[in-house]
Structures are given as structure tokens and as C-alpha cells.
Homo-oligomer: A and B are copies of this chain.
Amino acid sequence: MDRADKPLALTLGDPAGIGPDITLLAFTARRALAIPPFVLIGDPGVLAERARMMDLAVRIEPIGDTSAAPSVFTEALPVLLVPVAGEVVAGRPSAAAAASVQQSIEHAVALVRDGAASAVVTSPISKAVLARAGFGFPGHTEFLAALAGLDASDAVMMLVGGDLKVVPVTIHIPLKDVMGALTTARIVKTLLISARDVARYFGVTRPRMAVTGLNPHAGEDGTMGCEEIETIVPAIEAARDQGLDVTGPHPADTLFHAEARKAYDVAVAMYHDQALIPVKTLAFDTGVNLTLGLPFVRASPDHGTAFALAGTGKASPRSLIEALRLADTMQRNAGAAP
């Protein structure tokens, strides 16, 4: 059995959020929706209690190592133990759980790096809760880069929703800081990592990349901003010099309708909302968040902890299910590559 046939390693996320809920719901849909086997890295007690709250009959089976997961998965939800400290109350985040949230991620990464799991899928964490507990990273992406021994700028976020793939060059920073954070070098690096990993994980050998402008109408020849001329165009030219298929800068507002989407494999946007608005407008329930640039596949549902929904049975597992399926497809594509 090679790594491609190992289970996916799924983290629990914040135990007070909807991570346990959507894990249970996805597990119950595994046959109907052909969900690839996964092992949950977390606390079986939290899952059992959440299943009780949601009135779900799910057998939870602690396992010793991941080799048992695929056969267990047909009958029970396999769990590798990472105990959560303190009491877990659905909907009430607690800093006492922060250490286990972090350990779950570390353990999932270690499994994949050791060849015991095929890819990492993460459930939502609360940045605010983790920050209060001293977690030194803005989010998953930066933490995963550090665990892989990389610089944060080596990790590239990609959103996938339906036929749309979008990469934001800058992410979780105030809008006023975007202009300063955008450099030609950073855009080129993002283009190179995106092109390499879209080829590796999606089997598109030389992806067509469409780059947005920063300003309205992509600056309209400098009449509404100069970043296109000074920063973005030079990045596009440098990427082309390295053999990439890149067009732009395109006005962002006309780049995401159905006809426009046919002209590229991946769009590269300059900041958070420019990338996230089209994905979540088109595919709110099914969007997947990927981290490219890592030495392994990482996918995640494209939503937050939704504390208010935890335990209510109202959380939708659709985005997690898409993340599990996409992670499996991606790691198989990577494994099949020459």
C-alpha cells in the first residue's frame, strides 16, 4: 500500500466549533457521496458527546495507527487520540483547548510527512482564541509553512469553488497595507508556486493564469492608480520570461463571470476580498481552501468555526466533504505524476 492509499488526516479544529459536527455528518455520508477514508486526529469523547447532541448514531473507534483506518472506516469513524484539556462546551470556545488544537495540526502533518496519511485536511480554528493562548501564527497557512520548515511567503492560499480557482497574493492584512505588501517579487513568486502546484495537483501542465489589477478597471492606463504599471505588469512579464502562460492585469470585476472563466485555469488576485468575493458568491457552500507550496497536500473547508451552530445540527458539511474529496484527488494526481 503506497501513500496514495493511506487515509486522509483530518484535524478536529476548535472543539467548541462545528469541526466535530461536520466531521460526523461527513462520515455518515461516506457511502452516499464516495468520501475517501479519513482518520480524525482529536478527542473521541468530544465526538461522542457531539453525536449525542445531534442525535447521530455514529460508532467512534480509537485506533493505534493509521494502517487500520481504511478497514475501520467502513463501519466506524477512526480516531487517533489527541486529548482536549478542560471541559468542551459546544459554542463556547475556551483557551484551555488551544494546545490540543495545535497538536492535532502538528500530528496530522507528521503523519503525512511520515507517509502514514495521504494529505492533511483541517477543520476551522479560531484565530482569536488561539492568539489569546499564545499561538504565534495568524492562521493555518503560516503555521503549516513553519511546520514544513518554510517561510510564510512560500505557502500560497488557493480557493476552489466549482470551476473557479483563485489565488490571492496578499491575504489577512488590512486593506490599507495591501499597496505596501504588493511587490513584483511577491507576485512572481506566487505565480511560480501556483503554476507548479496547479500542474502537480490538477494535471494542468501549463496552466493559463489570469492576473487582476489592483485598482478599478485595472487602473485604466494609470488614470486610476499606478500599481498596475509599476508593480503588476513587470511581474507578469517576469513570469512570462520564466515560461508561464500569464495574461493581465485584468479588471477584477469582469474576470469572474461564466464566459470569462473559460479563458483561464487559475486567477491570481491582489487581495483577500478580490479573490474571496467571487468564490463565495458562486460557491458559498462548497468552496475549498488549499495551501499550495507545501511538501504535502492541505485542504480545508472555506468557512469558520461557526460557534453559534455547534451542536445544533444546522452546520453544513458540504464544504468539508468537498475538501476531503479534493485533497484525495490532488494527492492521487501528485502521486501519479512522472
Contact = CB atoms under 8 A, between A and B. Distances in A.
Interface of A: 127-128, 131, 171-176, 178-179, 214-217, 219-221, 223-227, 252-254, 256-260, 271-274, 276-282, 284
18 contacts: A131-B223, A171-B216, A174-B219, A174-B226, A174-B227, A175-B179, A175-B216, A176-B179, A176-B225, A216-B276, A252-B273, A253-B273, A253-B276, A253-B279, A253-B280, A256-B277, A257-B282, A260-B284
A174 B218 CA distance: 9
A137 to B, nearest CB: 13
Please report whether the interface of chain A is mostly helix, strand, loop or mixed according to DSSP.
helix
Given A175-B215, A176-B227, A253-B277, 18 more contacts: A127-B220, A131-B223, A172-B216, A174-B216, A174-B219, A174-B225, A174-B226, A174-B227, A216-B271, A252-B273, A253-B273, A253-B276, A253-B281, A258-B284, A273-B274, A277-B281, A278-B278, A281-B282
A256 B273 contact: no
Nearest to A177: B225
A274 B277 CA distance: 8
Given A272-B253, A273-B253, A174 B215 contact: yes
A260 B178 CA distance: 27
Given A215-B175, A216-B173, A254 B280 contact: yes
Closest A-B pairs by Cβ, 4 of them: A174-B225, A257-B284, A253-B276, A216-B272
> Which of A175, A272, A276 counts the most chain B CB atoms within 10 A?
A175
A277 B252 contact: yes
Contact of A128 (B175, B219, B221, B284): B221
Contacts of A128: 220-221, 223
A225 B259 contact: no
A280 B250 CA distance: 14
A104 B258 CA distance: 34
Given A274-B273, A281-B282, A172 B253 contact: no
A281 B284 contact: no
A284 B171 CA distance: 26
A280 to B, nearest CB: 5
A256 B280 contact: yes
Contacts of A284: 254, 257-260
Contacts of A278: 277-278, 281
A308 to B, nearest CB: 14
